[in-house]
Amino acid sequence: MLQDGPDHVAALLAQRGDSITVVAVDGHSAAGKSTFAGRLAERVPAAVVAGDDFYRVMDEDERAALSPAEGAARYYDWERLRDEALLPLRNRRPAVFRPYEWEANGLADRVVTIAPEPLIIVEGLFVSRPELAQVVDLTVLVVADAGSRTRRQRDRADASQEWLARWEAAEGWYFEHQRPPSSFDVVITA
């Protein structure tokens, strides 16, 4: 259960002592990743990084033409996430970056600063990708049934059906080919 998940992960983290620990909280769209990350941060002081702040700036026609594999590789700017947030925080320095602005399909003028903490939680789809394995210590997959996720997506009403279909195809490819559930350290059911 989701409410038990943060306690389980907090207990695993307690075993690591005072070392810097990066936890990647991944899962399908609307699975409960942000909720889980927030609940974990309530139990253990943490720097929380939203993967959505690192959506890649890209022409929408170019984005629409991506195959599911290409979408999984390119929807998010994982290099910027690593270089501007995760590496500085791992090195006990603040993360300073301009977040993606969804309405403008560009980087915001404002700057986000996240203070370092011994626990760094990065949450969002594709945040446990293999390319980030060198900076991530623990991977958590948050899963929810398709009906619950569909209701949450509908309640958000922030995407067209065409966009959601492309998005779900990229998610499916990612969880089948790059990060199957068995590859995660912890699986939490929402």
CATH of the domain at 52: 3.40.50.300
b/e code 12-23 from CB counts within 10 Å (16+ = b): ebeeeeeebbbb
Give yes or no for residue 24 having a pLDDT over 80. Answer: yes
Q: What is the pLDDT of residue 12?
A: 67
Confidence band for 54, pLDDT divided at 50, 70 and 90 = very high
Note the pTM of the prediction, 2 decimals.
0.90
Write out the residue range of the structural domain in which residue 74 sits: 5-189
Question: How many domains, in total, are found in the chain?
Answer: 1
Q: Is the pLDDT of residue 91 over 60?
A: yes
18 vs 82, residue with greater confidence:
82
Q: Specify the pLDDT at position 3.
A: 37
The answer, yes or no, to whether residue 2 has pLDDT greater than 60, is: no
Whole-angstrom CA distances from 49 to 46, 83, 120, 157 are 9, 13, 7, 23
Mean pLDDT of 149-176: 81
